[in-house]
Structure 1
Amino acid sequence: MTATGPGGVFTRIDQGVLGLPGGAWPSLTVHVGSCAVLLSPEESRRALYGPRRDAVLGAAVWRQAVTQARREPPNGDGTGRLLVVWLALPGLYRNLHRILRLWRIDRADLEAEAVLAVLAALDVADPDGPDTGGRMIKEAVNQMWAYAKSVTREVPVVDVGAFAESRNATASLEERALPPEGWELHITPPPRREGLYATLRFAEPCPRQGGRRTGTRLPDLVFRARRHEEADLIGTLVLRPAGARR
């Protein structure tokens, strides 16, 4: 039987069904023809998925398990519903691992989606219908794939409005860190159809020699901000002494 991840939903269900002291989980009384067979949870699983599985016995297992689960009172302990989910788990592993190989999805979330789908299918399942267990497993498999595809389509994006507001906010001279007697370079992009643009500001200290400004860094600052003749226009350039009024 395929092992599940440590601490995952499937593992907890396995522990809930098989971890009771003394194997106290109730067995299924399965009727096949005129015979009544008492099966433990492990024997019920082997009847469904084992190498010597019998289609007739497997249908009887699903019929009895679903019937008992549907008869549980709303305020019951839920053992019958949990047993149905546990019996469905082996039918989910193959697609679970296929999805996890294709996409980086949280396994616990994927397992939870599958369990919820089995329980939802159980609420409308017909115990005497054809392939009752297969229908519930198919619903869970479809839900896993649907969840995986929806998650992979979700692309995290920045809050554009808040980002633009922050970029366009004008800080006071006291709030701005200005190099003493340096230069400020402002590049204002042209308006865009989306209405979002922000002024880029670079500050550069002005070297001094003998108490006078040399200006040797100014050509380098402008050169680094220049536009290649074949490139698109990114905005207008304004150069002013640091702290000068705009």
Structure 2
Amino acid sequence: MALITYNSLLDVIHARVTSAAHLRPEVLPVEVGGETVHLDLPQARAALYERPVDEVLRREVWRRAVALGQHDALASAIGSTEVTGWVEAVVWLALPHLRRVARQAAGRLGADRRDVESEVVLAVVERLAEVSVDDPDVGPDLLRAAGRRGWEFARRSASGGRPVEDIVAVADARTAASTEDLWELAISRPDRPDGLVAPLRLTSRSAVEGARLGELADHLGLREVVHRTHRPHRGPRLGSVSLRSTAVGR
């Protein structure tokens, strides 16, 4: 029987980045005091969260990691094989904050923690493509984006709201219920060689159908014909017009 090793997206990311079974970046080169310092990933993450925090080193770690992550994202987008895993590594550097957001948001608002984890990871990846490495606040920017996304998702879940997955289906359903449905104009007339010999009489069974008949008459250039049918004098009925929807179930 196969066992599920992990039940958390954040645990999976941690295992992938730290496992020797995966080719992942091992060293982050950063510029500190005019010198290049090579930090392994645990050292880089320690520089972000351990006290006391060296703010200069912290900013440089985020700046360099984000730059490498953006390079990897671009390489992946163009189908390059030179992808070194820095997008995933940036998420791993943010893991302590992501875990805290997922735990607190899910715990306080009753959302599914696994769903919140997916949202915060997605927020980091999306924001990674937008931030500037020249921004000294680039790292906290990523963390704030993840925090906002996680709490907003948890609040929607708590209020019963859910993301709409099939936008096309929703749009089609609204269109089917609107007055913009397609309609067919069916004309029957006597089997006579001279065709209709009296004004065309249009009838409707409701005010809504009458309005649609008017719109259709305008579209077909029959407004004057319809107008003449409203005169008090009515000739013999020699034909009929019916209007029906082409929508299924009408």
Gaps of 5+ in 1: 157-246
Could you list the runs of 4 or more consecutive aligned residues of structure 1 that deviate by over 3 angstroms after TM superposition?
21-25
Do structure 1's residue 84 and structure 2's residue 90 form an aligned pair?
A: yes
- How far apart, CA to CA, are the structure 2 residues paired with 1:142 and 1:155? 17
- How far apart, CA to CA, are the structure 2 residues paired with 1:95 and 1:18? 22
**Match of 2:129, SS?**
helix
Q: Which has the higher helix share?
A: 2
Aligned partner (choices 139, 161, 164) of residue 145 of structure 2: 139
How does 1:25-104 map onto structure 2 within 5 Å? 25-72=25-72, 73-74=75-76, 75=79, 76=81, 77=83, 79-104=85-110
How does 1:184-203 map onto structure 2 within 5 Å? none
Partner residue, 1:152: 158
Give the C-alpha shift of residue 93 in structure 1: 2.6
- How far apart, CA to CA, are the structure 1 residues paired with 2:84 and 2:31? 23
Partner residue, 1:8: 8
**Match of 1:64, SS?**
helix
Partner residue, 1:112: 118
Do structure 1's residue 127 and structure 2's residue 129 form an aligned pair?
A: no
- How far apart, CA to CA, are the structure 1 residues paired with 2:161 and 2:124? 28
Name the TM-score, length of structure 2 as normaliser.
Answer: 0.56
- How far apart, CA to CA, are the structure 1 residues paired with 2:24 and 2:119? 28
Instruction: Work out whether residues 13 and 92 of structure 2, in 8 Å CA contact, stay in contact via their aligned partners in 1.
Output: yes
Residues 1:23 and 1:53: Cα distance change in structure 2 (over 3 Å) = farther
- How far apart, CA to CA, are the structure 1 residues paired with 2:84 and 2:147? 23
Give the C-alpha shift of residue 90 in structure 1: 1.1
Give the C-alpha shift of residue 155 in structure 1: 7.0
Letter in 2 for 1:91: H
Instruction: Work out whether residues 66 and 84 of structure 1, in 8 Å CA contact, stay in contact via their aligned partners in 2.
Output: yes
Gaps of 5+ in 2: 163-250
Name the TM-score, length of structure 1 as normaliser.
Answer: 0.57
Residues 1:101 and 1:82: Cα distance change in structure 2 (over 3 Å) = same
**Match of 1:135, SS?**
helix
Instruction: Work out whether residues 46 and 53 of structure 1, in 8 Å CA contact, stay in contact via their aligned partners in 2.
Output: no
Higher RCO (C-alpha under 8 Å, 6+ residues apart)? 2
Give the C-alpha shift of residue 105 in structure 1: 1.7
Give the C-alpha shift of residue 32 in structure 1: 1.2
Give the C-alpha shift of residue 58 in structure 1: 0.7
Letter in 2 for 1:10: L
Give the C-alpha shift of residue 22 in structure 1: 9.7
**Which stretch shifts more, 129-138 or 100-109?**
100-109
Give the C-alpha shift of residue 48 in structure 1: 0.3
Partner residue, 2:169: none
Residues 1:50 and 1:153: Cα distance change in structure 2 (over 3 Å) = same
